[in-house]
Structure 1
Amino acid sequence: MKVTVCELSDNKQQFQNDWKDLKLYLETTFSDLLLLPEMPFYKWLSASNVTSDELKQESVKEHQLWLKEIETLGVQYVVYSIPEIVEDRYLNTAYVFEKGKGHHRLHTKAYFPEETHFWEETWFDREEPATFEAFDLGNFKIGILLCTELWFTEKARHYGKQGIDILFCPRATGKTSVEQWINCGKIVAIISGAYCLSSNRSGLGENNFEWGGTGWIAEPMNGNLLGRSSAEDKFITHEIDLEKSKEAKQEYPLYVKSDF
């Protein structure tokens, strides 16, 4: 299976250029699966610690409009996250688009930072109870940890015990913490016994915040990076062997009993 990760600009005009380039790239690589960054189709609302119902509505509307663009990419599977308003709650929810079958809801973000530029606890709500359940796509299973959730490594093991083959981490993270995130991605690939894929925002955001970019593909068992994106190579594609993730479930540390 061919999988693609990316980094897409936070700047609206540059994002549109990146999207055009991504469409052309996918036409030549014939990738089976694409991972997009966290809530990529609107500006980062959590840069401010003052919420706005109007901006929440606008962000939801903009993301809904872009779903049709996802469907035109020609990729069998696209994993992404979008903001949703469900009753009176503002949620960050992950989906997978499966060609010919539509959009499947995967998971709603449950862990939020609360600090400068990342006032997510202020903006977002949780869906109760929080669930971290594998999703079966027929020939393989997937799990998702939305950005900050990657650091809750017990969830990666939980997914591994459910037999996932790929663990996705759409991100919105800064430039100064890139290496920390990569190290964590390598570790959860080992812990989950699955390929860990991540895509991120890039470029300058609100208040000249520098997004980190750097999508990655890490392999199970050893956590080695098969590739990482950069400002020069915003899209990275690699062939992965799903048998490797299945074999990893029989290896250390997945085989260790932990039901107590």
Structure 2
Amino acid sequence: MNVTVCELSNDRSEFLEDWRELQIYLAQNKTDLLLLPEMPFYSWFVNQKEVSIKVQQESVEQHLFWMKEVEKLEAKYIIYSAPEIVGTKFYNTAFVFQRGKGHRRIHTKAFFPEEDHFWEESWFDKEDNISFDAVQLDELKIGVLMCTELWFTEKARQYGKQDVDVLLCPRATGKSSVDQWLTIGRASAIISGTYCLSSNRSGWGEDFDWGGAGWIIEPVTGNLLESTTPERKFATHCIDVKRSVQAKKEYPLYVNTNKRYLEKE
């Protein structure tokens, strides 16, 4: 199956141009699955620590507005995250749009940074008992780790134990940390025994240089199959889902974590 990752500008005018180019790209390059960056339809708003209810509402409204545009894209499955207001709570939630079945909620983000440009713990609420359950899409099984969640490697292994075929990681990360993120992406592909995909914000804005560098990484080896650049914002690769199935039988996935080990005296 063909999978596509991308990098889309944080700047709204440049984002519109990127989106037009993405529409053309998908029309010309057949893909089954598309991954979008973290909360792509609104400028990054958690760069300020002070929470604004107005901004929260506007970010939700903009993402709801863009859902019709998502549905026009030529891809069977589209994975993204979006801000969501549920009662008095404000969440960052992963969704999948499946053609013919609509939008489906996956899970809310569980782990947040709290530092310059990323005051997410101040802005977002955390649901109780967040479940990292695999999602079945026809014959394909996926798992989603949103940005910071990728660093909690036990979640990648948990998805591997659920026989996930593709691990999807929408990001909003800076240019200075691209190498670190690529390292954890490769490690997660090995740990989970799945193809690891990531899409990210790009460009310059609010005194911050976004990293771009979407990737497609293969299981077992952790080899980088495709990556995006400012000159090549979209990348597609034909993956063999059988490779993910076989990976579950190889090291380190076959290791029995339930085995009891004797403690040294």
Unaligned segments of structure 2, at least 5 residues: 260-265
Aligned counterpart, 2:252 = 253
Alignment of 1:44-83 (within 5 A): 44-83=44-83
Count of matched residue positions in the alignment of Structure 1 and Structure 2:
259
Distance in 2 between the 1:69 and 1:62 partners?
11
Alignment of 1:136-151 (within 5 A): 136-151=136-151
Tell me the distance in 2 between the aligned counterparts of 1:205 and 1:95.
Answer: 26
**Pair 1:9-2:9 in alignment:** yes
What one-letter code is carried by the residue in structure 1 that aligns with 2:216? I
Q: Which consecutive aligned stretches of 4+ in structure 1 deviate over 4 angstroms post-superposition?
A: none
Shift of 1:228: 0.5
SS of structure 1 residue aligned to 2:54: helix
Q: Which residue of 1 aligns with 2:31?
A: 31
1:252 partner amino acid: Y
2:116 aligns with: 116
Q: Deviations over 1:63-108 (max 9, x none)?
A: 0000110000021000000000011110000011000111111111
Q: Cα RMSD over matched residues?
A: 0.7
In structure 2, give the amino acid aligned to 1:17. E
Residue 175 of structure 1 deviates from its aligned partner by: 0.4
Query: 1:227 corresponds to which residue?
Result: 226
> Quick one: distance in 1 between partners of 2:97 and 2:161?
24
Q: Percent identity?
A: 59
Q: Distance in 2 between matches of 1:247 and 1:186?
A: 17
Is 1:40 paired with 2:40?
yes
TM-score (norm 1): 0.99
- 2:263 matched residue in structure 1: none
2 CA distance for matches of 1:215 and 1:205? 19
Report the alpha carbon displacement of residue 191 of structure 1 after superposing the two structures with TM.
Answer: 0.3
Query: 1:155-186, CA deviations, whole angstroms, 9 ceiling, x for partnerless residues?
Result: 00000000000000000000000010001000
The residue that corresponds to 2:95 in the other structure is 95
2:237 — aligned with what? 238
> What is the distance in 2 between the residues matched to 1:259 and 1:145?
24
Alignment of 1:124-139 (within 5 A): 124-139=124-139
Q: CA deviation at 1:259?
A: 2.4
Q: Is the aligned partner of 1:198 residue 2:191? A: no
Structure number with greater Rg is: 2
Paired position in structure 2 for 1:159: 159
Deviations 1:33-66 (A, max 9, x none): 1000000000111100000000000000000000
Code of the aligned partner of 1:189: A
Using the TM superposition, give the Cα deviation of residue 142 of structure 1 relative to its aligned residue in structure 2, in angstroms: 0.3
1:131 Cα offset (Å): 1.2
CA distance in 2, matches of 1:167, 1:90: 25
Structure 1 stretches lacking a partner, 5+ long: none
Query: 2:230 is matched by which residue type in structure 1?
Result: A
Q: Write the letter of the residue equivalent to 1:210.
A: D
- Amino acid aligned to 1:209: F
Shift of 1:254: 0.5
3-state SS of 1:200 partner = strand
* Local SS of the residue matching 2:104: strand
Question: What corresponds to 1:210 in structure 2?
Answer: 209
Q: Classify the secondary structure of the residue corresponding to 2:46.
A: helix
DSSP 3-state at the match of 1:91: strand
SS of 1:110 mapped into structure 2 = coil
What is the letter of the counterpart of residue 4 of structure 2? Answer: T
Q: Secondary structure at the match of 1:187?
A: helix
- Paired with 2:257 and 2:189, the residues of 1 have a C-alpha distance of 18
* C-alpha displacement of 1:205: 2.0
- Worse-superposed segment, 131-140 or 21-30: 131-140
What is the deviation of 1:130?
1.4
Shift of 1:127: 1.1
